[in-house]
């Protein structure tokens, strides 16, 4: 099963309350609780706002795999749009590179939104 980008927080618009510091720890706790509640369900890849423990912007726009009551490491969005109505660079730190998640014996290539259609490895003209 697959959810949309930033499903647990919602997509930010100009100064959303969900991008304020008090809500960040709640996302991690909720994704752990959700993994436990979905113990018997098929695997779920869910979009989250992951707190950034290092320097830079306060959050990562990430996806995490919930499976067998566990939460796998997060895959972080690399290409953050800053055009038109998008201003992701305001809230999110960019991931360093596309990543692979393991699901039992499978390897999953995970991309988030802009990463799939705007990556210079696949497209000559990036937007």
Catalytic residue chosen out of the listed positions 77, 88, 93, 114: 77
CB 50, CB 65: distance < 8 Å? no
Residue from 19, 50, 88, 113 carrying the catalytic annotation: 113
- Annotated active-site residue 99? The verdict is no
Residue 31 main-chain phi, psi, to 5 deg: -65, -35
Local structure of residue 74 (DSSP, 8 states): P
The reply to whether 5 belongs to the active site is yes
DSSP, collapsed to helix, strand or coil, labels residue 112 as coil
| 113 φ/ψ sector (left φ>0, alpha ψ -120 to 50, else beta) | left
Residues taking part in catalysis: 5, 77, 113
């Amino acid at each position: 099963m697959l959810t949309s980008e930033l499903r647990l927080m919602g997509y930010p618009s100009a100064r959303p309350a969900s991008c304020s510091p008090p809500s960040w720890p709640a996302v991690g706790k909720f994704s752990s609780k959700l993994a436990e509640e979905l113990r018997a369900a098929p695997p779920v890849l869910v979009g989250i706002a992951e707190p950034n423990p290092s320097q830079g912007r306060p959050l990562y726009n990430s996806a995490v795999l919930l499976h067998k009551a566990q939460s796998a490491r997060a895959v972080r969005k690399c290409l953050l749009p800053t055009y038109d109505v998008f201003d992701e660079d305001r809230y999110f730190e960019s991931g360093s590179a596309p990543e692979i998640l393991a699901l039992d014996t499978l390897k999953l290539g995970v991309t988030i939104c802009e990463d799939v259609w705007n990556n210079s490895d696949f497209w000559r003209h990036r937007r």
